[in-house]
């Protein structure tokens, strides 16, 4: 099942993508793709609906982040050994955890506004985990039971702010709109193995990243378990899990985003995002 939210920023309504590729309105069924709707029981009830009887959403309607009620937007750094190498960093012994501000959340095709004092904004295609039920200090064996589904994320990153300005990574990861998620949440029954998904990103039509979740250092179950030891995870929380090689930082010389470019990225079975960069 593919769940989504559509409409203007801040006023998104719940919806789903039916088998024909038509977006259907769920606002008469539930208030949002959030909270109890993300639990196993809530997802089971949605899956049992006759989608053909739901109102159609007009083509071209804006899509927002596919889940509401997010309290924590957690990210894992350097989770692909080949990306760590291109970044000149050692392979981590434990997951590197940082937070993206909730103001980074954006729709999958929203413009990405480059701040006026940003000179090193970069791209990162990532697999995002969407939490479905409260997870606090869960074991790796229990971890996947707390996952509602998966989505595509572009962990847009300002490398100067992240790496050259001291302190933690968070400020380089938290500019407005620097975390597009979507186009939809794909429930776990449609993603039998999250560790076997191809992923890619193109900049102005040129393939920059071409990887697979098979090369993650820490897999999904390990990440959910690990993060839940330090941060209580709630329904609607998002964990983005690291990126394969091919980011601008790793180019020789480095290549960074500028206004007027187009990023297109996707993950096998999870959909495609397209963002145009603009001046903030």
Burial class (CB within 10 angstroms; exposed 0-12, middle 13-18, buried 19+) of 10? exposed
Per-residue pLDDT at 209:
98
pTM of the model: 0.97
Q: pLDDT band for 168, please (50, 70, 90 cuts).
A: confident
| Whole-number Å distance between alpha carbons of 271 and 182 | 7
The model's pLDDT over 56-74, given as tens digits with 9 standing for 90+, comes to 999 999 999 999 999 999 9
In a domain, 169, yes or no: yes
In a domain, 34, yes or no: no
Q: pLDDT band for 90, please (50, 70, 90 cuts).
A: confident
Least confident of 80-94, 164-178, 181-195, 210-224: 80-94
- Pick from 253, 265, 260: nearest CA to 276: 260
Inform me whether the pLDDT recorded for 111 exceeds 90.
Answer: yes
In a domain, 51, yes or no: no
Q: What separation in angstroms does the CA of 110 have from each of 173, 180, 181, 183, 254?
A: 17, 8, 10, 11, 25
| Whole-number Å distance between alpha carbons of 61 and 6 | 7
Per-residue pLDDT at 83:
79
Residue pair 266/200 in contact by the 8 Å Cβ criterion = yes
Inform me whether the pLDDT recorded for 87 exceeds 80.
Answer: no
Q: What is the mean pLDDT of residues 92-109?
A: 97
The residue behind tokens 């100067």 is: 160
Inform me whether the pLDDT recorded for 102 exceeds 90.
Answer: yes
- Pick from 131, 124, 238: nearest CA to 173: 124
DSSP class of 162: I
Tokens of residue 107, six digits: 């729709």
Domain total of the chain:
1
In a domain, 16, yes or no: no
The residue behind tokens 């083509």 is: 59
| Domain that residue 131 falls in | 68-279
| Whole-number Å distance between alpha carbons of 178 and 257 | 12
Q: Which helix (H) or strand (E) holds 271?
A: strand 271-279
The residue behind tokens 């941060």 is: 231
In a domain, 134, yes or no: yes
Residue pair 43/29 in contact by the 8 Å Cβ criterion = no
Inform me whether the pLDDT recorded for 94 exceeds 80.
Answer: yes
In a domain, 43, yes or no: no
Q: pLDDT band for 81, please (50, 70, 90 cuts).
A: confident
Per-residue pLDDT at 18:
97
CA angle, 244 then 250 then 251, to 5°: 120
In a domain, 229, yes or no: yes
CATH of the domain at 205: 3.90.850.10
**Which residues in 215-226 are b (16+ Cβ under 10 Å) and which e?**
ebbbbbbbbbbb
In a domain, 29, yes or no: no
Q: What is the mean pLDDT of residues 148-176?
A: 95
The model's pLDDT over 128-147, given as tens digits with 9 standing for 90+, comes to 999 999 999 999 999 999 99
């Amino acid at each position: 099942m593919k769940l989504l939210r559509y409409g203007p920023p801040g006023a998104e309504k719940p919806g789903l993508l039916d088998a024909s590729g038509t977006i259907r309105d769920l606002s008469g069924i539930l208030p949002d793709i959030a909270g109890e709707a993300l639990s196993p029981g809530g997802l089971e009830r949605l899956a049992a609906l006759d989608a053909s009887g739901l109102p159609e959403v007009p083509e071209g309607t804006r899509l927002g982040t596919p889940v509401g009620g997010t309290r924590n937007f957690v990210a894992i750094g350097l989770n692909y050994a080949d990306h760590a190498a291109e970044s000149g960093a050692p392979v981590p012994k434990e997951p590197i955890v940082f937070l993206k501000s909730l103001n980074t959340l954006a729709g999958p095709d929203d413009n990405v506004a480059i701040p006026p004092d940003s000179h090193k904004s970069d791209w990162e295609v990532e697999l995002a985990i969407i939490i479905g039920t409260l997870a606090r200090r869960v074991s790796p064996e229990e971890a996947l039971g707390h996952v509602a589904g998966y989505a595509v994320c572009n962990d847009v990153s300002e490398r100067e702010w992240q790496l050259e300005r001291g302190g933690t990574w968070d400020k380089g990861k938290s500019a407005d709109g620097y975390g597009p998620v979507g186009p939809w949440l794909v429930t776990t029954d449609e993603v039998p193995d999250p560790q076997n998904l191809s992923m890619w990103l193109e900049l102005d039509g040129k393939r920059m990243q071409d990887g697979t979740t098979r090369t993650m250092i820490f897999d999904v179950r390990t990440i959910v378990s690990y993060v839940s030891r330090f941060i209580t995870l709630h329904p609607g929380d998002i964990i983005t899990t690291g990126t394969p090689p091919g980011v601008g930082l790793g180019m020789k010389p480095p290549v960074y985003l500028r206004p007027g470019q187009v990023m297109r990225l996707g993950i096998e079975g999870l959909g495609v995002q397209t963002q145009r960069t603009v001046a903030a």
